Structure 1
Amino acid sequence: MAFKNQKVIIAGGTSGIGLATALMFADQSASTVVTGRDLLKLKAAEQLGLPAFQVDSTSPAQLDNFFSNIGIVNHLVIALGSNKGLGNFKELDLDNIRKGFEEKYWSHLNTIKAALPYMVSTNGSITLLTAITGTAKIPGTSGIGAVNGALEIMVPILAKELHPLRINAVSPGIVDTPWWDFLSAETKKETFADYAAHIPLGRVAQPEDIASAILFLAANTYVTGKVLVCDGGMA
């Protein structure tokens, strides 16, 4: 049990990859806490045995209050997402990209800043959740790709600045999570089938596939400054 008696915070841990990661840490005997904004999702996480706190990660004040009450943290996972910034640039509203940066990029940075005074530096870790759009150069993803790419650029720099605290990121490909709920059920099924036909492993990922990569980065005390691509060979 690599995480026994260690405190793990999953920002955005009430659904999808964040929730799968929280449950996996808990199974490894970690003291696991999740945050989110949606009260219904927070209550559902609590029913699964996870302490859950309502925190808006766009608010530095709420984050400061949360971490001051939580105290010492061994591992922080930031699984905050956004679907803003999708679409071909010619038709894309630039305010939509700005919202994407606010919801994901700045929320990640706000969370790191607030957590740093409480992070255990020796064998402690921070793991960000980016996405393959940051590097895949897929048409229609210039905006959302810019958000994820901006986070990934910071990872090796922060690893040098903040050592011995380890900083890494996981970059997923196509994952079957509620992120895709802006599509109808039938359209999502067709979209996943189309992607699966072009992914070497022949399927889209499940949240647990990405969660296990996150746990690897948190557990391995000799990996820092890396972006681990977990995309089934898609790229």
Structure 2
Amino acid sequence: MSTALVIGGTSGVGLAVARQLAGRGDAVHIAGRNAERMHRATAAIGGEVQGHVLDAADPAAVAALAARIAPIDRLVITLAGSGGAGPLGDLPLSGLRQAFEEKYWPTVAALQASLAHLGEQASVTLVGAVTARAAMPGTAGIGSLNAAIEGLVRPLAAELAPIRVNAVSPGYIDTPWWDGFEPEQRSAFFEQAAAALPTKRIATAEDIAETIVLLATNPNLTGTVIETDGGALLTA
């Protein structure tokens, strides 16, 4: 049985990844900061999934958890940042710094703290976003954030081999990340965005999770960033 640790696994894509890995028979551990969401997540998945309240930006806490469940065969880090969007001239630098503090630095901290506890043939899967290369106005800040995440992949795949390192680069996903919008506003935005995509649909968390599970489990994939964006780059 393989051991999987999904950091950011209490909602959205992370929760879908945990559910799919558990369905494959993995011993799945999910980690997140919010105890209430953790309780709901473990109840929703059921089975042998274990939840851990944890701040990914706390290397000591991550290392302690990783040591307890080692060796880790599949490490998935799926963290979200809420800032960094908007025209660069109007973008508060404090907001962009906060976005890096929410996503980039916790990703690096959690990965670094876990390295000593990964199995010899382990996989690491990160989550960037299509903004890393879509060249859309208003995304210089958030695009640089996701480019920083995706920029870790190839160097680390070479550095950590035979441990495999990959990432997904999603586009629009219907997840709780959008809960800050009013329902009507969210629905109208998704409708407009879907109409512009070649696939004519907004991805679900399960869509993205399937790609993450592929990267986490296929022994022939490393140093790869898979775009799972509904064709957004074709029309950006």
Q: TM-score, normalised by structure 1?
A: 0.96
CA distance in 2, matches of 1:101, 1:160: 24
Asked if the contact 2:58/2:110 (under 8 Å) is kept, the reply is no
Aligned residue for 1:74, secondary structure, equals strand
Map of 2:37 onto structure 1: 41
CA deviations 1:35-71 (Å, max 9, x no partner) are 0011110010121223110110111122122212222
Matched letter for residue 53 of structure 1: H
- Which aligned pairs between 1:83-102 and structure 2 lie closer than 5 A? 83-102=82-101
CA distance in 2, matches of 1:147, 1:103: 10
Identity across the alignment (%): 39
CA distance in 2, matches of 1:223, 1:55: 29
Asked if the contact 1:45/1:51 (under 8 Å) is kept, the reply is no
CA distance in 1, matches of 2:36, 2:152: 33
Higher fraction of strand? 2
Map of 1:28 onto structure 2: 24
Map of 1:53 onto structure 2: 52
Map of 1:214 onto structure 2: 212
Gaps of 5+ in 1: none
CA distance in 1, matches of 2:229, 2:144: 18
- Which aligned pairs between 1:196-235 and structure 2 lie closer than 5 A? 196-235=194-233
Aligned residue for 2:231, secondary structure, equals coil
Map of 2:144 onto structure 1: 146
The counterpart of 2:160, out of the listed 159, 162, 167, is: 162
Q: How far is the alpha carbon of 1:221 from its aligned partner?
A: 0.7
CA distance in 2, matches of 1:160, 1:52: 31
Matched, 1:104 2:103: yes
RMSD over equivalenced CA pairs, Å? 0.9
Question: Stretches of 4+ moved more than 4 A in 1?
Answer: none
Asked if the contact 2:70/2:119 (under 8 Å) is kept, the reply is no
